[in-house]
Amino acid sequence: MVGDGDRKELTRRGDVLATKRREYDEDDVRVRPGKSSRPRTRTRPRHEDAVDGLVIAVDRGRYTCVLPDAGPDAPLVTAMRARELGRKSVVVGDRVGLVGDTSGAAGALARIVRIAERSSVLRRTADDDENTAEGRLERVVVANADQLVIVSALADPPPRTGFIDRCLVAAYDADIEPLLCLTKADLAGPEQVLGYYAELELPYVLVRPDSDLDALRDLLAGRVSVLVGHSGVGKSTLVNRLVPDADRAVGVVSAIGRGRHTSTSAVALRLPPRPGGDTDPGWIVDTPGVRSFGLAHVSADSLLHGFPDLVEGTVDCPVNCPHTADEAGCALDAWVAAGKADARRLASYRRLLASRSGEGDAREPDQRNPGDPLAGS
Same domain, 215 and 103: no
Radius of gyration of the chain (CA): 30
Same domain, 266 and 177: yes
Report which of residues 226 and 136 the model is more confident about.
226
Give the model's pLDDT for residue 249: 44
Range of the domain at 347: 300-355
From 222, 224, 270, select the one nearest 120 (Cα to Cα). 224
Number of domains in the chain: 3
Same domain, 234 and 135: yes
| Reported pTM | 0.74
Residue 1 lies in a domain: no
Same domain, 109 and 125: no
Mean predicted confidence (pLDDT) in 333-358:
86
Same domain, 256 and 192: yes
CA distance 126 to 51: 34
CA distance 231 to 254: 10
Residue 10 lies in a domain: no
Confidence of residue 232 (pLDDT cuts 50, 70, 90): confident
Q: Across all residues in the chain, what is the average pLDDT? A: 79
Q: Is the pLDDT of residue 65 over 90?
A: yes
Same domain, 71 and 181: no
Confidence of residue 47 (pLDDT cuts 50, 70, 90): confident
Same domain, 127 and 269: yes
Contact 237, 246 (CB under 8 A): no
Which residue, 68, 99, 115, sits at the end of a domain?
A: 115
Contact 314, 332 (CB under 8 A): yes
Same domain, 153 and 255: yes
Give the model's pLDDT for residue 257: 40
Q: Is the pLDDT of residue 1 over 60?
A: no
CA distance 16 to 39: 47
Which residue, 96, 115, 134, sits at the end of a domain?
A: 115
Same domain, 63 and 159: no
CATH at residue 307: 1.10.40
CATH at residue 92: 2.40.50.140
Residue 32 lies in a domain: no
Residue 366 lies in a domain: no
Same domain, 145 and 107: no
Per-residue pLDDT tens for 193-207? 998 888 888 999 999
Contact 203, 179 (CB under 8 A): yes
Residue 17 lies in a domain: no
CATH at residue 169: 3.40.50.300
Other Cβ atoms closer than 10 A to 284: 24
